[in-house]
Structures are given as C-alpha cells and as structure tokens.
Structure 1
Amino acid sequence: MDRFHEVTAFIAVVEAGGFSAAARRTGESQSAISKAIGALERRLGVALFNRSTRSVTLTDQGQRYYDRTRPLVDEMDDADSEMTSSTLAVSGSIRIAAASTFGRLHVLPLIPGLLSRYPGLQVDLVLSDFVRNMVDDRIDLAIRVGQVNEPDAVVKRVAGTPLVCVGSRRYFEQRGIPSTPADLVHHNCLLYGGLEESADWPFVGPEGRFSVTVRGNLSSNSVETIRAGVLAGVGIGLFAKVSLSDELQHPDVITVLDEFISDVRDVSLVWPKRRFVPERVRRVTEFFASSLPSRL
C-alpha cells in the first residue's frame, strides 16, 4: 500500500476524530481508511490508536508520529500550492484560535468571506479565553489580544485597541461616578481572570503611569461574564475596547476615567515557527491581516 496514503489516512483520522469521520472528510470508504491504518501500524510495529466503541484516541506513539508527520505533509501541501496561483488550490483544514468574546464579535463574522474566497478550506474555529498551547492543541493560527509570550511562534501585529473603563447608568446612580482612579477603591470592580481577590488597573496621570488596586464581588475567567455583570449593574469593568463593540453605544453604558487611560493592547496574528508555512496558513493569515483592522 502507498506509504503516503497510509500517512494521510492516519492524519485524517486524528483530525476528524474517528474512522467514519475521516472517511467522510477524504471521500474514501471507512474500510479503505481502516486498511490504511492497519497497514501503517503493521509497518511501524506499534499501535497508533486506542480504539473503543465510543472513541478513537492517539497512543503516546501515535501522538509522536502525528507531531512528526503533520509538518511533513504540510510541507508537501505547500510545495504543491507553489505550483499554482489558483485560489482553489488553497485547501485542507486549518485550526484558528481566538478569545471567546473577540472571536464571536470580530473573527466569526469574517469566516463566510474567508470560505467564499477559499472554498476548499475546512475551518475549525476554537473560541476560548484560555490561551491554547499552539503545538499541543494543533493550532495553525491564533488571533490574540494583548501581550504574546511565545518564543517558538511568529507574531504579526495587525492593530491596537485601547482600554476602557465602563459601568452602567444604574450602578453609577447608586454608587456615584469615580472622578479619579483613586476613587475606584470605594467601588465594586469586576475582575477578569478568575480566582483573584484584587487586580491592579493601569492608569496615567500628570506624574506618569501608576496603578490602582481594585476589588469586587465578581471575578471570572470569561470576558462575557464581566460584560454581563457590567450591563446588569453589578459593578465597573476594565476592557479592551474591541471586547465591548455595540455596548459602548448602549444608552445604559457609561465610560469613566477616560483622561487617565492610555494603555493600548495589541491585536496580533500568531502561528508556530517552522521552516515551511503551509500555503493555506499563509493565505488565511494574509486574509485576517487585511480584514481585521477595518473592524477594530
């Protein structure tokens, strides 16, 4: 059996999550996929998958084999793509990660245009406020808001977004509007990050940068939760402006302390550092690099 077919069948099973799903993705029969995997395992002398009636998962040897072969197949795809300029040649699966709120507001609306331009793509959009490990989670492209600390990644800044401090009109009617950052110590400040009892919010004044330690009765690792808390009148939140979108036009939402806020968070495209970047990753990166700034 063709060794390349064995490897591509193996990768299809890993990324589709099962034999039947891999068959649907590749257009082959499930028996053909099973035969290819069986031949590969016999040739290597190891079991690549743990099989049960409910799931198919990689063995340790299977994970190592996937980590080694996936980049090789990507390089072959890239070599093929270089031989043609047709957008139809940009095909295959691409896994994109973004923070939940930012992804919902700014990435998801761009996906139809991306798929219209490159109909051969299969997009897996992972939305989570947890920063994904790009290698372990097989992320091809991440869109990050804020500082990126990944030495084994390529980072391309495409835009910036300022911080804004906001609360609802009903909250300020009960507690008053802070006139200086120091007033926040007397307010209920909602904390993004989860588990923390306090946070240091950054500000700037006549004498330079400073921070104020704030506290509140609601913290969360979800920006959506903090946004909902602000809209419900629970307290004050500090956000990257891109996370609020239409809320800033809401008649019940008020920004405060604008003159004391100067920090800007980068919006960046991040992809794993490797010798050859697959053509589909390069094209998708270029798409978001040109499409995102106009939304932000």
Structure 2
Amino acid sequence: MDRITAAQVFNRICELGSLSAASRAMGMSRPMISRYLAEMEDWAGTRLLHRSSRKLSLTPAGEQLLLQTQALLQVADGISQTELQQTVAGTLRISCAHFTTKRILNPLLQTFLNQHPALKVEVQISNQNVNLVADRIDLAIRVTNELDPNIIARRLGDCYSVLCASQRYLAEYGTPQSPAQLIQHNCLHYSNFAHGFWQFNAPDGTPIHADIQGNLSVNESSILLDAVLNDAGIAMLPILDAAPYIAKGQLTALMTEYQPQPLGIYGIYRSRLHQPLALKLLLEALKTAIHSANQQALASIGVETP
C-alpha cells in the first residue's frame, strides 16, 4: 500500500474532521478512505482516532503520528512532480475478465508497451471483484450496468451484444422473429446478467423484457460462444466475440432490429488524484480502442452504430 497516499488521507481526515469530507475533498470513495485509515492504524499498532456519532478526535498516538505525516509530506512535496508525471515507467497491475482481456486489452497492449519501453504491465485475469488496495491493483476493467456508487470509475465505452445461433440449430428448430418467441427456444445465457429474461430496445426505443429458458448458464462468454458454434441453442453474445463468426457465416445474427441493452465498460481505480501518467494514457488508449472495435464489429454484421 502507498504510504504517501495513506499519509495524505490521514492528514485530510484530521484537517476536515470526517472521513466523508476527506472522501469528497480527495475524490476517493468513502470505503477507500476507511481502508487507508485502517492500514495506518495497523502500521502504528494502535488506534489513531476517537470515533463518535458527532465528530472525530485524535488519540495521543494520533497526535504524534500527525506530526510525522506532516513532515513526511513536506519531504514528498519537494520531489519534482512534473518530472515524475512525465515518466511512463514502473509497473501497472490490471485486473479484468477473460473476455475483456482478449477482446479489449490484449489488442492494444503490445503497441502500448512498445510505445513506453520503461513500463511493465501485470494482468490478473478474474471475473471476481478485487480489493484494489489489498491486491495492489492499479486498474480493474469491468463490464456492468450495476456499478457500485462508492467506487472511483471512468466509463470507457459500451459492450454491445447480438443474438446468435448456428444455421444447423435454426434449420432444426426454426428462426425466432420476435423476442416473445424466444421462450420456445433453448436460450443459453451468461449467469452474471440473465435472470430468466433478456432485455431489448424495440425499433421505436421501447424497452422489452423477453422471458427465456435454457439448459446452459455460465459466467464465461467464450463457453457460450463454443456452445452456439456447436449448435446447442441461441445466445446473447458480446458483439466483439460474435462478429468474426457472423462474418464467416458460422453464426447468424437474429432480430437485429431489436437491440440488446448494452452494458457499460468501466475502468476502476483507487483515486482521481495523483494518477500515474501510464494509467492516464492507458485509459485514453482503451477508450479509443473500444470505440473503434465497436464500430468495426457493428458495421461488419450490418448493424447501425447506436
């Protein structure tokens, strides 16, 4: 954990008198402020603040530590921030799911590293939420429409989906012409999002909930892709996964006039303050790459860019 940042958090809490005020002033989530304070108390081996429903006050140990953190930050402020911020170096630790790694991060990563030879990137592939502080993660990339309001995040783009099936499946079971007919088919779904229905926007923009049922539910889109390619049923797949197979004729896009509701793609990080230049540049590169990839994928299957 970054002790300079922890010292800054502790000082702001003492200055403003509450964790919530420090959260607003520093652009950090309230839970992150609490974690930094907890780590400071772990390092000190004692309680630093008296907490009550009305106010916070320093313990004797907290008063001593405040003097030390103030001195530490004075030294840190003497370091040339301009020089540090212009150096794209060090290590960026990134957490993202397999789909996000394969279709969003990996296509741009080698070019990004070639542009910044002093930088190292460590990628942790996981579908699980991570503790950015405890796991020392600089950036988590997540696809969701249910973002925790307490975290610091930047929307990087949208994850569009498309209904797909193989020609063999459609020849045997028929082609649905409307969302209401999906209940008659084996609908394979992504377990983290589907709750017995799929959501669409009708051609006039009206939201539609279509009931579905199926014999396969998984939390990895590549498994759904394999199942659909093997004639198992209909799936709502990320368009970045499905587009190459639709273009080759291995899959058929269904009911493209009914648009599945897109999901947001977010970059999640610890603080808006004092971001490493490498992180800022990577976020911009990801935003540009996602927009470009979506345009190409949508155009390749004849769907107008939303």
Calculate the TM-score normalised by the size of structure 1: 0.66
Pairwise CA distance, 1:113: 1.0
1:43-192 counterparts in 2 under 5 A? 80=80, 82-83=82-83, 89-147=87-145, 149-192=147-190
Q: 2:232 aligns with which of 211, 231, 234?
A: 234
Q: Distance in 2 between matches of 1:285 and 1:191?
A: 30
Aligned match of 2:17: none
Give RMSD over aligned pairs. Answer: 3.2
Percent identity between the two aligned chains = 26
Residue identity opposite 1:249 in structure 2: A
Structure 1 residue 148, shift from structure 2 partner:
5.1
CA 1:137–1:148: 2 relative to 1, 3 Å? farther
8 Å CA contact retained: 2:85, 2:276: no
CA distance in 2, matches of 1:204, 1:109: 30
Number of equivalences: 225
Shift of 1:127: 2.2
Say which SS state the counterpart of residue 148 (structure 2) adopts: coil
Q: Say if 1:134 and 1:250 are closer, same or farther in 2 by CA, change over 3 A.
A: farther
Residues 121 and 245 of structure 1: CA distance in aligned 2, closer, same or farther (over 3 Å): farther
Give the gaps of 5 or more residues in structure 2. Answer: 4-42, 46-68, 295-306
Q: Secondary structure at the match of 2:156?
A: strand
> Structure 1: which amino acid aligns with 2:288?
S
- Say if 1:195 and 1:219, in contact at 8 Å, map to a contact too: no
Q: Distance in 2 between matches of 1:144 and 1:195?
A: 13
Measured in 2, the distance between the counterparts of 1:45 and 1:85 equals 30
* Structure 1, unaligned runs of 5 or more: 5-43, 47-68
Deviations 1:84-111 (A, max 9, x none): 675xx22111111222123112211211
Using a 3 Å threshold, how does the CA distance of structure 1 residues 203 and 143 change in structure 2: closer, same or farther? same
Question: What residue is the counterpart of 1:273 in the other structure?
Answer: 271
In structure 2, the partner of 1:203 is: 200
What residue is the counterpart of 1:258 in the other structure? Answer: 256
The answer to whether the 8 Å contact 2:199/2:209 transfers is yes
Q: 1:207 to 1:114 in 2, by over 3 A?
A: closer
Counterpart Cα distance in 2 of 1:147 and 1:135: 23
> Structure 2 counterpart of 1:267, which letter?
I
Which residues of 2 match residues 18-37 of structure 1 at below 5 A? none
Cα pair 1:240 1:265 within 8 Å, conserved: no
Q: For each residue in 1:174-197, what CA deviation from the matched residue of structure 2 results, as whole angstroms up to 9, or x when unmatched?
A: 11000111111110000211698x
Structure 1 position 207, deviation (Å): 8.8
Question: Which has the higher mean CA deviation after the structures are superposed, 164-173 or 269-278?
Answer: 269-278
1:76/1:289 CA distance change after superposition, 3 Å:
farther
Change (3 A) 1:140 1:207: closer
- Going from structure 1 to structure 2, the CA distance change for 1:119 and 1:148 (only over 3 Å counts) comes to farther
Q: Which region of structure 1 is more displaced relative to structure 2, 215-224 or 138-147?
A: 138-147
Aligned pair partner of 1:243 in 241, 247, 257:
241
Structure 2: how far apart are the matches of 1:195 and 1:109? Answer: 25
Give deviations 1:225-253, integer Å, cap 9, x for gaps.
11111111101111232233412313120
Change over 3 Å in CA distance of 1:265–1:207 after alignment to 2 = closer
How many Å separate the matches in 2 of 1:168 and 1:233?
6
Contact 2:98/2:125 (8 A) holds in 1:
yes
Q: Which runs of 4+ in 1 moved over 6 A?
A: none
Distance 1:232 1:133 in 2: 37
Separation (CA, whole Å) in 1 of partners of 2:172 and 2:141: 38
The question of whether the paired residues in 1 share the 8 Å contact of 2:89 and 2:118 is answered with yes
Give 1:220 shift.
0.7
Compared CA separation, residues 236 and 132, structure 1 to 2 (3 A) = farther
Are 1:214 and 2:212 matched, yes or no?
A: yes
